Structure 1
């Protein structure tokens, strides 16, 4: 873990939490969110803005280090909805990071 680049800032995490409004996978907002790597660290992922989503403890533990789309299918969660929303949120947040402006309001 120490060798892995982990550059997600607290401000980026808050922007991600606000943009998703709950668990990126099951949409629950009833519990505290944990940082989950879409591509697990064990598969080359990192804690970065482009790779982290908020996840409830149940989804985070269930996904563990699985590949996200196969896990979503196995759990009977909507893979397409997740992928489109992930791309939309990143599209709004990543350009803001590149040009130093404030992140877009996704609410």
Structure 2
């Protein structure tokens, strides 16, 4: 499996904060936002545009490395709204920040 790098840029982080307008989970707006991996690092997530959302300190600490949908349900937060908004923002930002072209690889062929 190809390794995914931690490639979130400062510009992308700023765009994510602007797009969400507050905590992606609870909606609070009057506190500093932290980067949270929707899929936790311990579960294979990475710091990438598709996997990071802005969160308040409280939500980030509470979610820890839990699976996001189960955590949202346990906290009685709106799972459906989060997932739809996450998709909407990811789609919108994908046009602004297209994924890099895959690098060409030289294939070695053996005659035989």
Provide Cα deviations, 1:1-56, integer angstroms capped at 9, x if missing partner. xx972110000000000000000000001110000000000000000000000000
Cα deviations across residues 46-71 of structure 1 (Å, max 9, x unaligned)? Answer: 00000000000000000000000000
Change (3 A) 1:7 1:99: closer
Which of these two proteins has the greater Rg computed from alpha carbons?
2
Alignment gaps of 5+ in structure 2: 101-112
Q: Which runs of 5+ in 1 are unaligned?
A: 101-107
Residue 54 of structure 2 is aligned to residue 59 of structure 1: no
Choose between structure 1 and 2: higher helix proportion: 1
Shift of residue 96 of structure 1?
A: 1.8
Q: TM-score when scaled to structure 2?
A: 0.83
TM-score, L = length of structure 1: 0.87
2:35 maps to which residue?
35
Residue correspondence of structure 1 range 41-80 to structure 2 within 5 A: 41-80=41-80
Tell me the SS of whatever aligns to 1:88: helix
Following TM superposition, the consecutive aligned residue runs of length 4 or more in structure 1 with deviations greater than 3 angstroms are: none
